[in-house]
Amino acid sequence: MRKGSLWKVVPSVLTTVNLFCGFYGIIAALSEEFFRAAIAILIAVVFDGLDGKIARLTKTTSSFGVEYDSLADLLSFGLAPGLILYLWALQPVGGFGWLAAFIFVSCGALRLARFNVQAPQTSGFHFTGLPIPAAAGMVASLILLGKDFMTFAEPRPMMVLGVACGLAFLMVSNIKYRSFKNFHLKGRHPNWLLLLVIPTFALILKPELLISTIFVLYIVSGPVEQVVAHHRIVRESRAHP
């Protein structure tokens, strides 16, 4: 196989790994191995980021890759987390539980469909609505926290139901979230790299807490930036009537 042909296959292979992780997450959840299911979802998040990054670096992006990636994302970050939510925490609330899980899945599907339609017109610096991998990562983080923190050891159905519906709303909202597709360290001040020291130590000592904090901060960042931007516009309009 020629080198050029090999690079064309690599993104699809990574997407397949993403798909496999989502499928394994479902299998683990059905066996009530929720910690393993959560780990599988987080690994899928990593490979979802890698496939697009490598495709852009090697200039092997294609319509096929975009569609395949969306199908894999729907299973790994929509169906799998929705099923995990229901089996892990939402069964005790009956119909409200499976309805909340379905809302999470359906909003994830809508988010992916909207992204595919809007992708050609966007600048690549922002997403409209919470990206579905971030929503799935937050679900996985809640399960991971139960390993070392007794507060999260037993899921609270009503709290989880609220989280599921909140994430679903953010995915289909018009709130802007930053995209890191065009983020590069090259040319930046070397001292910026010092900021990686604290997360590195936190990852070693309390990885569950660090991972959860990252997802929470990203999820909150969208609404916060929207409010700040709105206040800035109002202030400028009052200053220049």
Among 40, 38, 62, 49, smallest CA distance to 14 is for 49
> Structure tokens of 126?
């922002």
CA 195 to CA 74: how far, in whole Å?
A: 33
On whether the CB atoms of residues 157 and 92 are closer than 8 A, the answer is yes
Which residues form the domain of 84?
Answer: 3-183+192-239
Q: Are 148 and 208 in contact (CB under 8 A)?
A: yes
pTM for the structure as a whole: 0.86
Residues, the chain: 241
What's the pLDDT score for residue 194?
52
What are the tokens at 195? 């900021």
Please tell me the total count of domains within the chain.
1
C-alpha–C-alpha distance, residues 13 and 54, integer Å: 11
Instruction: Say if CB 192 and CB 125 are below 8 A apart.
Output: no
- Neighbour-count burial of 197, counting CB atoms closer than 10 A to its CB (0-12 exposed, 13-18 middle, 19+ buried): exposed
Q: How far is CA 57 from CA 99, 127, 159, 238, in A?
A: 40, 20, 41, 45
The CATH number for 148's domain is: 1.20.120.1760
pLDDT tens string for the chain (241 positions)?
455 566 678 899 999 999 999 999 999 999 999 999 999 999 999 999 998 888 888 888 888 888 999 999 999 999 999 999 999 999 999 899 999 999 999 999 999 999 988 876 665 678 899 999 999 999 999 998 877 665 556 788 999 999 999 999 999 999 999 887 655 545 544 454 555 555 565 556 677 888 888 899 999 999 999 888 877 877 766 666 5
